[in-house]
Amino acid sequence: MLANLKSKSKSQGGSTITQQLVRNYALTQKKSYVRKIQEMYLAVQIERKLSKDQILEAYLNTIYLGPNIYGVQEASRYYFDKDVEDVTIAEAAFIAAITQNPGIYNPYSKKIKKILITI
């Protein structure tokens, strides 16, 4: 936040998993200082009521993981046709990896096919 104030822009971001959960579930993605303050306030409230495991589970059930796919259960169904509790370690690692950029790392994406063809 200090870097953003110094540069007078909203170029940098940093959020805890709880803040990301709040943003995904209750707030807009619009970058603003008001939203960031709301996000921090709500995150503190959630951390007072839920355990770290509960927060992580809720976060993992709200993140975007592909075309109209939100949460690890939907991702395991879409990519592996199985419930999340039945995925292998390799499949879980795949789901974890695509969180960085599901549009690029989705194996069904045209973008990844182009990358693989050039390799």
The verdict on residue 110 lying in a domain is yes
Together in a domain, 43 and 92: no
Q: What is the pLDDT of residues 60-81, one digit of tens each?
A: 998 999 888 999 999 999 999 9
Q: How many domains does the chain have?
A: 2
Q: What is the pLDDT of residues 83-93, one digit of tens each?
A: 999 999 999 99
Q: Tokens 């355990």 identify what position?
A: 51
The verdict on residue 57 lying in a domain is no
8-43: b or e for each residue (b if 16 or more CB lie within 10 Å)? eeeeeeeeeebbbbbbbeebeeeeeeebbebbbebb
Together in a domain, 30 and 67: no
Backbone dihedral angles phi then psi of residue 80, each to the nearest 5 degrees: -125, 0
How many residues comprise the chain? Answer: 119
Entry pTM: 0.68
Together in a domain, 33 and 75: no
For residue 48, how many other CB atoms are within 10 A of its CB?
7
The verdict on residue 55 lying in a domain is no
Range of the domain at 28: 1-50
